[in-house]
């Protein structure tokens, strides 16, 4: 069975991100065709990116925090990124977490769950473009959540029921593409 990491996209102390990531995990866990793990970028305490050599050229990382992060991503077959939108982009924390690695991401699949005052759609598209470089294939279906209608008081996550269907379609493709891409890595 493929292992899919649900990757958080915000590291703020007051983030709503974890509530959304936990909702994704609760729906994913109903399935029996893959294993799902919540991977919180905040737990890895990655410093602001300051590597002297890009990961595309060397995996000899200077930051000791990069090694557990590398090991975690290496052990996963696919991802579901849960991203907010900050000024029309993903957060600097998520960008750094992606930038730290290269081969660990290669030839894997990903789905995107976004949220924000404008549904986080621009951040989701920004993330799709970013992921082309480390060779992560993003599936078409996605989930886009509104800070105004899927959260109470913009802080307590309470998604409209129809989002579960979009999430299921997203996970369906992440699981099948992750399974298929295993053959490319082998």
Distances in whole angstroms, Cα of residue 44 to Cα of each of 1, 12, 82, 89, 114: 25, 14, 16, 22, 22
Q: Which region among 8-16, 72-80, 94-102, 131-139 touches ligand FMN (by CB under 6 A)?
A: 8-16
Closer CB to ligand FMN, 62 or 92, in the complex: 92
* Residue 147 phi, psi dihedral angles, 5° rounding: -65, -25
Q: Is residue 3 near ligand FMN by the rule CB under 6 A?
A: no
- Closest residue to ligand FMN, based on beta-carbon distance: 116
Closer CB to ligand FMN, 154 or 180, in the complex: 154
Closer CB to ligand FMN, 14 or 183, in the complex: 14
- Shortest Å, Cβ 149 to ligand FMN: 13
Contact between residue 146 and residue 114 where contact means Cβ atoms under 8 Å apart: no
- Shortest Å, Cβ 36 to ligand FMN: 20
Helix axes 17-28, 163-185, angle to 10 degrees: 70
* Measured distance CA(88)–CA(169) in Å, rounded: 25
User: Count of CB atoms within 10 A of residue 153's CB?
Assistant: 6
Dihedral class, residue 99 (left if φ above 0, else alpha if ψ from -120 to 50, else beta): alpha
Closer CB to ligand FMN, 70 or 83, in the complex: 83
- Shortest Å, Cβ 12 to ligand FMN: 4
Q: Is residue 10 near ligand FMN by the rule CB under 6 A?
A: yes
Binding mask 59-98 for ligand FMN (x = CB under 6 A): -------------------------xxxxx----------
Q: How many helices (H) and strands (E) does the chain have?
A: 5, 8
Residues that bind ligand FMN (CB under 6 A): 10, 12, 15-17, 84-88, 116-118, 120, 147
């Amino acid at each position: 069975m493929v292992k899919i990491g649900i990757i958080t996209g915000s590291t703020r102390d007051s983030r709503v991100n974890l509530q959304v990531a936990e909702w994704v995990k609760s729906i994913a866990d109903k399935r029996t065709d893959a294993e799902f793990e919540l991977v919180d970028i905040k737990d890895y305490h990655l410093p602001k990116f300051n590597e002297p050599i890009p990961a595309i050229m060397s995996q000899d990382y200077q930051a000791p925090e990069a090694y557990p992060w590398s090991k975690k991503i290496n052990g996963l077959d696919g991802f579901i990124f849960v991203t907010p939108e900050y000024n029309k982009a993903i957060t600097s924390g998520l960008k750094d977490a992606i930038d730290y690695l290269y081969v660990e991401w290669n030839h894997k699949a990903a789905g995107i769950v976004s949220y924000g005052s404008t549904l986080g759609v621009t951040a989701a598209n920004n993330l799709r473009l970013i992921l082309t470089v480390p060779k992560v294939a993003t599936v078409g279906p996605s989930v886009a959540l509104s800070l105004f209608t899927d959260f109470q008081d913009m802080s307590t996550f309470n998604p409209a029921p129809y989002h579960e269907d979009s999430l299921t379609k997203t996970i369906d493709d992440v699981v099948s593409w992750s399974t298929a891409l295993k053959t490319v890595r082998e």
